[in-house]
Amino acid sequence: MLEILRNMIKEEWRIHSSLFGSFMFALFPVLLAVIAFVGALSLPFVEIAIPINQMLSIFQYLFILFGLSIGSFGLFGREIMNRRFGHASLLAYSSRSLPVSEKKIFVNFIVKDIIYYFILWIAPFVLGFAIASPFLSISFIYSLSFLLILTLSFLMGLSVAFFLSTVYVHSIKLLIGFLGLLTIASFISVYYSNVNISNLLSVLSFYYLPSFNQVALSFFIIIAPIAFSLFFLKVDYPQKTRIFKNSLDKFSGWFKFSKYSIFVSKDFLDFNRSEGGLGKIIFSFFLPLSFVWLLISVFMRLMPLLNPFVIFSIFLGILSSSFYNWFTEFDLFTSYAFLPVKISTVMKSKVNSYIIINLIPLFVLILASLWTNQIENFMPSLFVFLSVSAYTLSITTYLAGLNPNILLYNAKIFLEYLLLISPILLILIFLSVVPYYLILSIVLIPISYQILKKSYEKWDSIEQPYF
């Protein structure tokens, strides 16, 4: 039993270190601790805008989401692993080839996830907070409570992911039905009853009311879904052969204004046909965007000189770059390496796709300007959105080429990314005191163009890394 666990942890470490290098990956928890330390030092300022209880809730939900994503990736991520590592055969999928029961493998898998991500994420994050606590005159006991809240939140997300994956394996319809019921129940609870579902899920309620019932409820919420998953464990995933009529030629006709219409068509087909479809846009773009909007509205109380809509347009530009990451997620250069195609050609085509999909954030910007009655500030906001979007894209392509989803997790590259983007953001936020000054951001467009040109040269001149 312990042998499997030890090897699973080793395997997880090697997957990550093969992507980023052992040293760089080992730096990741250090970086996380530093970020938490700096974040904690800024608490006295942030607390004026967001009460500490709300902040704790935000962290709690973030770690529930983190647990959900780790659990889902571990169980549904075989396709992604296969794309990156060839036909990946992880220990988690080995119950058919080894004389070990599926239940045993699954228990080891859960324990591995808990230990690995506790050491790598939760502990460093809380450590950063704990180191900062003497400077803030906060008792050390708060760090322990923080550790407990984040661990329970992560476990809750993890157990829900395992539960949902078990339902999914048995029937996709059942999963959809279950999620539908949950949505309706949440809706009713919010609008028609006094029961608040978020309170039921909240491990914070244990923190506020440390009664036996709260402890029991928190653990029940974590253990029950895992027990259910174990009892109804099934490893065969419902796989359906998906059939489509030729749409490439049709798409290519739509995008014929682009020199790279065939590649752009492929990008949009990938986007459309891959798992998640529209859900991906919601999670990777609209969800963080709503979060940014919320944060801006709160922080603006601290800085009344700044215009929330204008600041939102700056961050809209940054978040748009997540679309480039999606376009590069679905194919590796190995699919093109044997064709007469340069790396820069594929990069240019992704930039074309990116320009087209930026119509979505542009539409969001128009809606936001109407909603907030900020039509008079629309022009400077449009300029700054386009400039920041172009600049962020150019920095991403320069540093990470066709592999932003891998290389931006490299601590060194991520730091370079932050250093190249943050000062520009600060200048733009400073300029936004007089929104029309933001028209000056247009200088970022030719700069971005030059950086893009340099990135094409850079990635053409080096051998494409194989992950």
Partner 1 sequence: MKNAIEMKNLTKNFGELRAVNNLSFSIKEGELFGLLGPNGSGKTTTVKLLTGQIKPTKGNATILGMNVLKNPIKVRELVGIIPEQETPPSFLTSEEYLHFVGKIRNLDKIEEKSNSWLEFLEFEDQKNVLCKDLSRGTRQKLMFAQAFLHEPKIAFIDEPLINLDPIIQRKVKDYLQEFVKNGGTIFFSTHVLEIAEEICTRIGIIDKGTLIYEGSIKDLKKKRQHLEDLFLKLVREA
First to last CA, the chain: 31
What are the residues whose beta carbons fall under 8 Å from the beta carbon of 284, sequence distance 6 or more?
322, 325, 326
CA quadruple 20, 24, 27, 28: dihedral, nearest 10:
-20
Shortest distance, CB of residue 337 to partner 1, whole angstroms? Answer: 5
In the window 314-343, what residues touch partner 1 (CB under 8 A)? 330-332, 334-335, 337-342
Nearer to partner 1, 252 or 372 (CB): 252
Stretch that binds partner 1, among 203-211, 248-256, 381-389, 392-400 (CB under 8 A): 248-256
Nearer to partner 1, 248 or 287 (CB): 248
Query: Could you say which DSSP state residue 255 is in?
Result: T
Stretch that binds partner 1, among 9-17, 130-138, 243-251, 395-403 (CB under 8 A): 243-251
What are the residues whose beta carbons fall under 8 Å from the beta carbon of 148, sequence distance 6 or more?
207
- The closest alpha carbon to 106, from 235, 9, 2, belongs to 235
Three-class HEC string of 52-116: HHHHHHHHHHHHHHHHHHHHHHHHHCHHHHHHHHCCCCCHHHHHHCCCCCHHHHHHHHHHHHHHH
The tokens for 52 are 């500490």
Stretch that binds partner 1, among 126-134, 218-226, 269-277, 449-457 (CB under 8 A): 269-277
Q: Determine how many CB atoms are found less than 10 A away from the CB of residue 219.
A: 14
Cα atoms in the Cβ-side hemisphere of radius 13 Å centred on 73: 10
**Number of residues engaging partner 1 in binding (CB under 8 A):** 32
Q: Does 96 bind partner 1 (CB under 8 A)?
A: no
Q: Which of 26, 59, 73, 270 binds partner 1 (CB under 8 A)?
A: 270
| Residue 159 · residue 226 · CB < 8 Å | yes
| Rounded Cα distance, 346 and 107, in Å | 42
| Rounded Cα distance, 374 and 197, in Å | 36
Nearer to partner 1, 104 or 256 (CB): 256
Shortest distance, CB of residue 338 to partner 1, whole angstroms? Answer: 4
Stretch that binds partner 1, among 244-252, 290-298, 426-434, 438-446 (CB under 8 A): 244-252
In the window 204-233, what residues touch partner 1 (CB under 8 A)? none
In the window 104-133, what residues touch partner 1 (CB under 8 A)? none
Shortest distance, CB of residue 95 to partner 1, whole angstroms? Answer: 22
Shortest distance, CB of residue 274 to partner 1, whole angstroms? Answer: 6
| Residue 184 · residue 96 · CB < 8 Å | no
Q: Which of 97, 137, 241, 373 binds partner 1 (CB under 8 A)?
A: 241
Shortest distance, CB of residue 327 to partner 1, whole angstroms? Answer: 12
Residue for token pair 């704990």: 130
Q: Does 236 bind partner 1 (CB under 8 A)?
A: no
Q: How far is CA 347 from CA 350, 354, 400, 450, 457, in A?
A: 5, 10, 11, 15, 11
Shortest distance, CB of residue 277 to partner 1, whole angstroms? Answer: 11
Instruction: Classify residue 393 by burial, with Cβ atoms within 10 Å: 0-12, 13-18, 19+.
Output: buried
Stretch that binds partner 1, among 43-51, 264-272, 292-300, 368-376 (CB under 8 A): 264-272
Q: Which of 7, 18, 196, 274 binds partner 1 (CB under 8 A)?
A: 274
The tokens for 89 are 């055969």
Nearer to partner 1, 104 or 259 (CB): 259
Shortest distance, CB of residue 166 to partner 1, whole angstroms? Answer: 24
Nearer to partner 1, 96 or 240 (CB): 240
Say how far residue 322 (Cα) sits from the centre of its chain. Answer: 9
Q: Does 463 bind partner 1 (CB under 8 A)?
A: yes
In the window 72-91, what residues touch partner 1 (CB under 8 A)? 79, 83, 86
Binding mask 367-396 for partner 1 (x = CB under 8 A): ------------------------------
Rg over alpha carbons for the chain, rounded to the nearest Å, is 24
The tokens for 280 are 């991906």
Nearer to partner 1, 44 or 86 (CB): 86
Nearer to partner 1, 269 or 355 (CB): 269
Shortest distance, CB of residue 333 to partner 1, whole angstroms? Answer: 10
| Residue 300 · residue 311 · CB < 8 Å | yes
| Residue 285 · residue 33 · CB < 8 Å | no
Shortest distance, CB of residue 340 to partner 1, whole angstroms? Answer: 4
Give long-range contacts, CB 8 A cutoff, 24+ apart: 54-57.
56/146, 56/149, 56/204, 56/207, 57/202, 57/204
Residues that bind partner 1 (CB under 8 A): 79, 83, 86, 239, 241-249, 252, 262, 266, 269-270, 273-274, 330-332, 334-335, 337-342, 463
